[in-house]
Structure 1
C-alpha cells in the first residue's frame, strides 16, 4: 500500500511539475505574441513612433520603443539584453557572436533608406557644401567657412558614420563636438551662425510641434557627391528620390534586426513596417521606402497649351 501511495505521489508531482512548466511556457509564448520592446537608433525615432501608433491601433498589442545611441545598443547586444533592434546597419560577426553561439539565426528586414542631414542657420549665405570640406574638417584641417561640426550624441550612429567616412578614430572635441539629442543640435544651429549640425533627416522632416520654430530657423544644405560621383558638379539635398537613387552622398539603410530566436510580436511588427501600410508611413515621414515606387513631381510655372 505504501509503495502504491508513494508511486501516486511521484506521478502527481511529475504531473504538477510539467503542468507548471507548460503554463510558464504558454505564458512566455503569449507575452512574445502581445508584447515587444525594440531598442531604436534615436536618429529614426520619429518615424518608428508613427509606425507603433498605427500598428497598435489595428490590433491588441504593445510595442515599446527605447531610443538609444548606436554604441549603447551595441553594448546591450553584447550583454544579450535585447534581441529586437532598429539600426542604420547590420551587426558584424563579432557583434552578434553571443547570439550565434546560441544558434540563433537573425531575421533582418530593411525598412527604409535614410540620410544624414547637414544643417546651417538660415542667416548663413551657404546653401550647398562639398562633402570633402566636411571630411577635411573632421581630419583636423582648416576649412574657413566652418566654425564647427555639431553632432547629436557622442555615441550616435551619425558620428560613427562620419568618422568612418573621414577615416578618423578620434575627433577634435573643440571644433567637432556632440550635444545630447538631435533636437538640441537643431536648437543650437538655429541660434549660432557658422556651425554645421549633423542630424538624421527624420528629425527635420518630422519635427515636434515645440521644435517647429527652431527647424524654421535652419536650412538643410545640398551636398556635392564626391564619394560616388567625383566628376559631377551637382549638389543634392536628401530628398526621397535622391536618397532612393543614391545621388545624396550621406545615405544609409535602416534595418529591423530580430535576434529573439522565436516567433513573436517582434516578427509581426517587422512584417507590418515592411508591408504596404508601414512603407506608406515611411514615405510620409520623408525617408525613402524600399518597397514603394517613388515619383518626383515637377511643377512648371507656365502651362503648355499646345496639343
Structure 2
C-alpha cells in the first residue's frame, strides 16, 4: 500500500473511532459512518466478511449494510452494472474495469486488508492427508491420481475455480473427475458423503464455520500441500496456517480487497477503514487469515 493511501486510511480510522463515541443522526443520511448500502461478497470468503459487517454495524448503529454473497464473477459484473457499489473480493479490479469506472467519473478505491488461503480438504477417515500442486494440476487437466476419485469446487463461476484454472493453464474444468457444486456448504456435504474426494474451499469456512455446518466441518480435515519444485514450500507438505501464510510456505493464497465505487464520502469508506483498522485486523486473525497489518499487542511485565 502506498504512503498516501496509508495516511488516508489512518485518518478515516481516527474518524471511525471518534464517531463511535457519538450518536449519528440517522441511517437515512449519507456519511462515512451513516447510511445504507449493499455489500457484494465473494461466497468463498463470506464467513469472515459477515463477522466484519456484524461488528461494524453493532459499533456504528446508524449504518445498515446488507451482505449478498455470490460467485466472484457475478460480484464484478454487478459492480459494473451499478447493481451495488461496495464489494469484497479476492482480486483487485483489472485496468479495463478501472477505466470503465473512470469514464463515468468514478475512481475506484481498493483497500487490501488480508491474505486468504484456499484450503484443500478431505474426509477425516481418508488415510491420505497430503497432496502436491503437481497432482492438483493433473486433476485439473482431467488425469487421475492415486487415492482421489473426485475434486469439487463451490461454483463454476467461483474465484477458486478461476485460481486453479490459471494454475493449471486450462480454460474450463475437465468433463470427468472435477465438478462444481453450487455453494461452499455443498462442498462440505459432498466430502462428508464421499471419503475419497477432495474439496477446494476458503479456509475461513473451516476455521469459523456457520453453526449449521459445524458437524460437517468436524468430519473433514485440512490436507498438507507441497509446492512445485523450485518454489517456496517445495520441501514439505504445508497446511494453511497463519504461520505458513506469513512465511509464504503454503502455495494457495490470494489477497482480499474491499472495493468501493460509491464515488462519494459514504459508508463504503467507513467500512474499508474498519477492515484495515485494528479491530478489523483482529477479526482477520481470529478467522485464521493473515492480516494486512499485524495488530500490536501490549506486554505487561510484572515485577
TM range (shorter): 0.7 to 0.9
Following TM superposition, the consecutive aligned residue runs of length 4 or more in structure 1 with deviations greater than 6 angstroms are none
Aligned counterparts of 1:195 and 1:208: Cα–Cα separation in 2: 22
Task: Tell me which residue corresponds to 1:130.
Answer: 132
2:152·2:200 contact (CA, 8 Å) conserved in 1? yes
Matched residue count: 269
Helix, strand or coil at the partner of 1:74:
helix
How far is 1:230 from its partner?
6.4
Give TM-score scaled by structure 2 length.
0.84
Deviation at 1:231?
Answer: 8.0
Contiguous gaps of at least 5 residues in structure 1? 1-26, 296-307
Name the CA shift for 1:29/1:145 in 2 (closer, same or farther; >3 Å).
same
Partner of 1:3: none
Give the Cα–Cα distance (whole angstroms) in 1 for the partners of residues 186 and 257 of structure 2.
25
- Where does residue 163 of structure 1 map in the other structure? 165
| Inter-partner Cα distance in structure 2 for 1:81 and 1:228 | 44
Structure 2 residues not aligned, in runs of 5+: 1-27, 298-303
Q: TM-score, normalised by structure 1?
A: 0.83
Contact 2:32 2:270 in 1 (8 A): no
Give the whole-Å Cα distance in 1 for the aligned partners of 2:33 and 2:58: 18
2:283 aligns with one of 278, 281, 284: 281
Residue 58 (1) aligns with residue 59 (2)? yes
Partner of 1:236, secondary structure, is coil
Match of residue 40 from structure 1: 41
Q: Distance in 2 between matches of 1:41 and 1:131?
A: 24
- How far apart are the structure 2 equivalents of 1:212 and 1:262? 40
Aligned Cα RMSD in Å?
2.0
Q: Give the Cα separation in 2 of the matches to 1:207 and 1:258.
A: 27
Aligned to 2:95: 93
Larger Rg: 1
